[in-house]
Amino acid sequence: MPAGPPGSSSGQLILEEPLIRTPYELLRRSHRSAQRQVEKDFKIIQSGLNDLVKRASTAEPGPSSHDSVIKQLDQVGERVKGLKRKLDDLQPREDAPSVLKSRLKYVESLGKGEKTASEHSSLAPPETEAGTDRTLDRYIVDYLLRTGRVKAAQALAVHQGIEDYADIKLFAELTKIEKALIERRSVTEALAWCGENRGTLKKTKNDLEFALRLQEFIELCRHRDVTGAITYSRKNLAAWAPTHMQEIQQGMTLLVFGERTGVSAYRKLYETERWQHVRHQFRETFLNLYGLPTQPLLALALSAGLSSLRLPSCAPHVKPSTSPLSPKSPTVPLLPSAPSLHDLEQVLSTIGAGIDHLTAPIGGVPTSPEDDMHEHPETLVGNVDCPTCGEDMKILASEVPMSHHVNSTIVCRISGKVMDSQNEPMAFPNGHVYSSKALEEMANSNFGCVTCPRTRQTTVFTRLRKVYIS
Q: What is the mean pLDDT of residues 273-290?
A: 94
For the segment 168-198, what is each residue's pLDDT rounded down to a tens digit? 999 999 999 999 999 999 999 999 999 988 8
| Percent of the chain residues past pLDDT 70, beyond the cut | 73
Q: What's the whole-model pTM score?
A: 0.68
303 pLDDT band (50/70/90 cuts)?
confident
Residue 4: per-residue pLDDT: 44
Residue 466 has pLDDT above 60, yes or no: yes
CB atoms within 10 A of CB 170: 18
Q: Is 200 within 8 Å of 207 (Cβ atoms)?
A: no
Q: Which helix (H) or strand (E) holds 433?
A: strand 433-435
For the segment 195-244, what is each residue's pLDDT rounded down to a tens digit? 988 888 999 999 999 999 999 999 999 999 999 999 999 999 999 999 99
Q: How far are the Cα atoms of 262, 339, 342, 439, 441 from residue 415, in angstroms, in the given order? A: 70, 7, 12, 9, 10
241-244: long-range contacts (C-beta < 8 A, 24 or more apart)? 243/207, 243/210, 244/207, 244/210
Higher pLDDT, 380 or 161: 161
Q: How far apart are CA 466 and CA 293, in angstroms?
A: 50
37 pLDDT band (50/70/90 cuts)?
confident
Q: Is 211 within 8 Å of 278 (Cβ atoms)?
A: yes
Q: How far apart are CA 337 and CA 392, in angstroms?
A: 19
Q: How far apart are CA 274 and CA 256, in angstroms?
A: 20
Mean pLDDT over each residue of the chain, to the nearest integer: 78
Q: How far are the Cα atoms of 16, 191, 269, 279 from residue 214, in angstroms, in the given order? A: 37, 12, 10, 14
For the segment 68-103, what is each residue's pLDDT rounded down to a tens digit? 777 777 777 777 777 777 666 666 666 556 788 888
CB atoms within 10 A of CB 414: 22
Q: What is the mean pLDDT of residues 448-463?
A: 88
Residues of 451-460 as b/e, b for ≥16 C-beta within 10 angstroms?
A: bbbbbbeeee
Q: How far apart are CA 421 and CA 423, in angstroms?
A: 6
Three-class SS of residue 90?
A: helix
Q: How far apart are CA 314 and CA 381, in angstroms?
A: 8
Q: How far apart are CA 250 and CA 259, in angstroms?
A: 14
Higher pLDDT, 56 or 388: 388
